[in-house]
A and B are shown apart, each in its own frame.
Chain A
Amino acid sequence: MGLISRMSTVIKSKVNDLLNRAEDPRQTMDYAYQRQLEHLRDVRRGIVEVVAARRRLELQAAELKQNTSKLDDQARRALAAGREDLARLALERKQAALQQIQSLDPQIAELEQQQEKLSETEQRLTAKVEAFRTQKEVIKAQYSAAEAQVKIGESLTGLSEEMADVGMAVDRAQEKTQQLQARAGAIDELVSAGTLEEIAAPSDTVERELAKITVTQSVDRELEQMKQQLGLPQPQPPRQLKEGE
């Protein structure tokens, strides 16, 4: 069985569910119209949720950026005070924050896309609902005619299909939003606990080790630069103890 026939079957079974609710086609039409309005509200609520999730991630990215300059400052102060160990720790955290910022960007872009899609869906659905409302009144007025019966069937099926499609789109957007919200919550917790690395670390062992090396290298490089800027001695030869140290 192909993907198309499977997808068509899924939509058709949703359509049948909707159509089997009422016996009198006129009632079914009113019912379908009400459901359609509910769907429109769902779509609008979906847009609000996606926007909220996007704002949250954007805020988080901004906070993380702020965090990196704070950690940078801490590293500088630690170095100036001769605490290279502390400086290294601060820079490692800064690297983790930078990685996190990088992973947030595509997620924000994805939510933007979802928002755009839902807005298009809303426009399309608004037009369909309006068309259906007009048709419904016309059909109800001439219900006795056999031709009208056929029309009821056609437009009801067509509209129900639209509803099934929109319903699936809203479900998908909500699922995505929830996933990203859960992730945003996890980042918030880890940021406040100061252990961002756990999230940023890839699950694969080799990848994790390689990532560690990259982090160590960037931390080393940054330490060198900071030392230069602060006019501190370079580490090549072990630092000689001055008198009184």
Chain B
Amino acid sequence: MIVRIANEGQYRVDSGALDEINEIDSRITAAMARNDGAEFRRLLGQMVEVVRSRGKPVPPHEIVESDLVLPSPDISLDEARRLFPGGELLP
């Protein structure tokens, strides 16, 4: 599975990591809904770290499509909110 971390690059990750990533993703969405910026940043950092530690970087000369794209770990809650149409977090 190819996972891209925005503004950083792509990693080849074994699909076993997917469950972990999805679990953090749903907690991130919950933190966004609660407007909890600190928790949002912490979880986003954690999710990116899963990819970095369990994945192998795709070499620069290899051009492949990603299965998943993670936002850059330094985005703010406001920036993340803007990724959603109308800035709303609908389930």
Any B CB within 8 A of the CB of A224: no
Given known pairs A7-B83, A124-B9, A124-B60, the reply for A2 and B69 (CB within 8 Å) is no
- Distance in angstroms from A153 CB to nearest chain B CB is 9
Highest count of chain B CB atoms <10 Å: which of A3, A154, A165: A3
Q: A1-B91, A2-B25, A130-B61 are in contact. Are A8 and B6 (CB under 8 A)?
A: no
CB pair B60–A127 under 8 Å, yes or no, is yes
Is A159 on the interface with B (CB-CB < 8 A)? Answer: yes
Contact residue among A3, A117, A158 (Cβ-Cβ distance under 8 Å from B7): A117
Given A3-B28, A127-B61, A128-B60 in contact, is the A161-B4 Cβ separation under 8 Å? yes
Query: Max chain B CB contacts within 10 Å: which of A120, A130, A165?
Result: A165
Contacting pair A6 B22 (CB below 8 A)? no
Asked if residues B71 and A161 are in contact (CB atoms below 8 Å), the reply is: no
Give the interface size class of chain B. Answer: 20 to 34
A11 within 8 A of B: yes
Distance A11 CA – B74 CA, assembled complex (angstroms)? 17
Using A3-B32, A4-B68 as known contacts, say yes or no to A158 and B6 having CB atoms under 8 A apart: no
Query: Are A165 and B21 touching (Cβ within 8 A)?
Result: no
Task: Please give, as numbers and ranges, the residues of chain B lying within 8 Å of A169 by CB-CB distance.
Answer: 6-7, 72
For chain A, what secondary structure do more than half of its interface residues adopt (helix, strand, loop), or is it mixed?
helix
Cα(A117)–Cα(B75), bound, Å: 13
Closest B residue to A110 by CB, please name it.
B74
> In the complex, are the beta carbons of A3 and B25 less than 8 A apart?
yes
A132 x B63 contact (CB < 8 A): yes
Contact A8 B69 (CB under 8 A): yes
Q: Which residues of A contact B90 (CB under 8 A)?
A: 1
A8 touches B68 (CB 8 A): yes
Chain B positions within 8 Å of A10 at CB level = 69, 83
Cβ of B19 within 8 Å of any chain A Cβ, yes or no, is no
Q: Which A residues are CB-close (under 8 A) to B64?
A: 154, 158
Q: A117-B7, A165-B6 known; A4 and B21 CB under 8 Å?
A: yes
A-B residue pairs in contact (CB < 8 Å), sample of 8: A3-B80, A6-B84, A11-B69, A113-B74, A120-B8, A131-B62, A158-B63, A168-B7
